[in-house]
Amino acid sequence: MPESTTPRTPIRPKERFLIFGRPTIEEPEIAEVVDSLRKCWLGTGPKVARLERDFAAYKGVPHAVAVHSCTAALQLSILAAGLHPGDEVITTPLTFCATVNAILHAGAQPVLADVDRRTMNISPEAIERAITPRTRAILPVHFAGRACDMDAIMDIARRRKLVVIEDCAHAIETTYKGRKAGTFGDFGCFSFYATKNMTTGEGGMVLTQNEAQAARIKMLALHGMSKDAWKRFSDEGYKHYSVVELGYKYNMMDIQAAVGIHQLPRVERWLERRAEIWARYDRAFADLPAELPAPTEANTRHGLHLYTLLIDEERAPVSRDGFLDGMTANGIGVGVHYMSVPEHPYYQQRFGWKPGDWPVAMALGRRTVSLPLSAGLSDEDVSDVIAAVRAVLAR
């Protein structure tokens, strides 16, 4: 290991630090937010309704319900699926904590099934092994934007009569055999958090084929009030509302949707830009002591949300954490997606989970780093990332 990863002259000085996951905000969303403010319609209203319609159309499904986060989307989907306390939901250990937290907030029991070494996605064989008489649902995550093996997962779900809830936080543009991510299972959940492929600041969306389920999610997202409660302050006169079950305050605001309705039409163009950056990274890093993302599976489209390197700690001059420090010292923001869920003390204490019980996710989580991949990166930004990676790894 080297004595220090601090460069004498950083590739980018502090004033030009390249922020990881920086969103791209253009003039139309700024004008649309101002329009919401001028009209004084801040909360859930016509702009949320438009984002729901536009997103459903983009995905080719009949129903989309906007909520304030993907975490909320996952929790409400699990509730709408009718799971009871103690029911088990099988998910991946290589995900953001929100996936597991949503299961817990819905009162269900998370059960982890290890990932495939190459795709980093939940392994269908591991799902089979994790099934018990209490299993009610599978919650796959399309990791980094790479489609899960949906044929195998849907086959298990049909045979075992399990609900499928897709975590599509990375997978807005992802397709599998021509079909869009989030349209396979009973529910597809999306994130519009600031670092995701499109943003509303904070925000999320639930897709479902089922009208009754969509209405239920809408109701659960707004206090459990009977439908269209948001219309009650309109100019059509006062309308009484009824609370028909215990709901939450998870609705999206028009101020958020104002951003989203202008981001959505750009996601395909932004995907093309990220594909260019991805190809440049693949070419630039082929000779380094790090493993590049596996080629995309035939018949699928990768959403290209995260470009990950697996640091080869045997051959590299730095450890994974040394790489993170070296990049930061060179003015490049980096991420880790993710330390496996059982690495966190909360889950260890509550469930007795040990990282080594899911060895593939543990090993990946301890070696992985994510590089900047926003569509807004300039060619020069990308050159700086490449120069920094080479400066830290190619010694």
Binding footprint of ligand PLP on the chain (CB under 6 A): 69-71, 95-96, 98-99, 141, 167, 169-170, 191, 193, 204
Query: Which residue among 161, 196, 227, 354 is the active-site one?
Result: 196
- CA-based end-to-end distance of the chain: 11
Decide whether 102 or 332 has the Cβ nearer to ligand PLP: 102
The helix/strand/coil state of 300 is strand
Decide whether 144 or 309 has the Cβ nearer to ligand PLP: 144
Decide whether 173 or 384 has the Cβ nearer to ligand PLP: 173
Decide whether 96 or 353 has the Cβ nearer to ligand PLP: 96
196 is known as an active-site residue: yes
175: number of Cβ within 10 Å? 16
Angle subtended at Cα 183 by Cα 148 and Cα 47, rounded to the nearest 5 degrees: 125
* Minimum gap (Å) between residue 208 Cβ and ligand PLP: 18
* Nearest Cα to Cα of residue 252 among 48, 14, 40: 48
* Minimum gap (Å) between residue 346 Cβ and ligand PLP: 16
The helix/strand/coil state of 185 is coil
Q: Would you state the structure tokens that stand for residue 81, as one six-digit string?
A: 């699926």
Residue 114 gets which letter from DSSP? P
* Nearest Cα to Cα of residue 311 among 325, 296, 322: 322
Contact 161, 133 (CB under 8 A): no
Decide whether 167 or 384 has the Cβ nearer to ligand PLP: 167
Contact 380, 30 (CB under 8 A): no
* Minimum gap (Å) between residue 218 Cβ and ligand PLP: 18
For β-strands 300-301 and 307-311, DSSP reports them as unpaired
* Minimum gap (Å) between residue 164 Cβ and ligand PLP: 16
* Minimum gap (Å) between residue 314 Cβ and ligand PLP: 29
Catalytically active residues, by annotation: 196
